[in-house]
Amino acid sequence: MTKIKLPSLLSFDRKLEPSDALMYAGNWNESIQNISNTQSNEKDWQPITISKRQNRSTISSYKTTEEDMTKPNPVSSDSEDANLPHNKDTLKVSFTLRVVGNIGTPYACNEPKFSESITQKIKKFSDENNGFSTLACRYAYNIANGRFLWRNRVCAERVIVNVNFPGLDYPLSFNAYEYSLNDFEKNFDCKKIQELATKINEGFSDKISFLLLQIDAYVKLGNGQHVFPSQEMNMGEKKKVLFQLENTAAIHNVKIGNAIRTIDNWYLDAQFPIAAEPFGAVTQRGEAYRKNKAEGDLYSLMQDWVNNANLTENQKNYVIANLIRGGVFSGEKAST
């Protein structure tokens, strides 16, 4: 039997589509915990604006000469910053998440045998495993624990995450600190986690034609405290430029998505979950945890699966998580 190779044209469209997240300032009060009132107090939340900071800085780069150590940095320290106002103690982060079905069918593929095989493999997996329940539970867990808040979650006094979708009388409300960033087993069987996961799984499985989640996180930080929008790539410049939409501090949708898909603790000698990536790359650590076939990279596992190799359930979940991530996964062009 001829081995099916990776197509020279292969891509999958993203199945979790987060919006950019807008950042607002307000005060912690009972209405945050009384979820029936959270939709009625929108006037209490004001957009967080980006401010300019012009500070004198020192030269502190590696191998700075002794002569330069006490000189002001000649590079402008003109940068941007964001804070809660001094009469506001709580950050609100709001975004939507659209869940898309038809998992497993390539968006583009120039090899029909590969397309047919991967589609059949994933359909069989779905039929035998209640859809994509393991993945849906992990995505739900990362919403509940507020991982998408990144540095805004660190050392906050309280973090509440509310999730709303059609059919609910009141939003599902989660105390984010009750759900671990490193252990998916902590409160994994929580009724609200399972309810959210079931809805996400239905979206993946095409049981509903359209699913949009409204997600609002409330973070009690303290009056005037620093908040952390996304930072724009500013190549060749030293100053910090922060992301904003409509004059409101914001977090990039890519950063939100990266947090939600931080579910891969199936790689070798895993110590913490990482985002589902073809090579398990974590740029902050300068490490790739799935560099090759021995470590279980996406391309090797995907090619093995379409050629009927015996993959573990965890390996299959990892492959599907990457297809949900979406991207171009083409192989080598055929030689002429």
Residue 1 lies in a domain: no
Q: Please give the model's pTM, rounded to 2 decimal places.
A: 0.93
Residue 4 lies in a domain: no
Question: What pLDDT shows up at residue 58?
Answer: 77
Structure token pair of residue 170: 């009141």
Which tens digits make up the pLDDT trace of 3-39? 999 999 999 999 999 999 999 999 998 667 665 444 5
Which tens digits make up the pLDDT trace of 103-138? 999 999 999 999 999 999 999 999 999 999 999 999
Question: What pLDDT shows up at residue 330?
Answer: 94
Q: Which domain holds residue 253?
A: 10-328
Residue 132 lies in a domain: yes
Question: What pLDDT shows up at residue 221?
Answer: 97
Residue 151 lies in a domain: yes
Residue 336 confidence (pLDDT) above 50: no
Average pLDDT taken over every residue of the chain: 91
Residue 314 confidence (pLDDT) above 90: yes
Residue 5 lies in a domain: no
Residue 106 lies in a domain: yes
C-beta of residue 243 within 8 angstroms of C-beta of residue 294 = no
Domain count, the chain: 1
Instruction: Please give the average per-residue pLDDT across 218-226, as a whole number.
Output: 97
Residue 3 lies in a domain: no
| Enclosing H/E stretch for 164 | strand 158-164
**HEC letters along 181-237:** CCCCCCCCCCHHHHHHHHHHHHHHCCCCCCEEEEEEEEEECCCCCECCCCECCCCCC
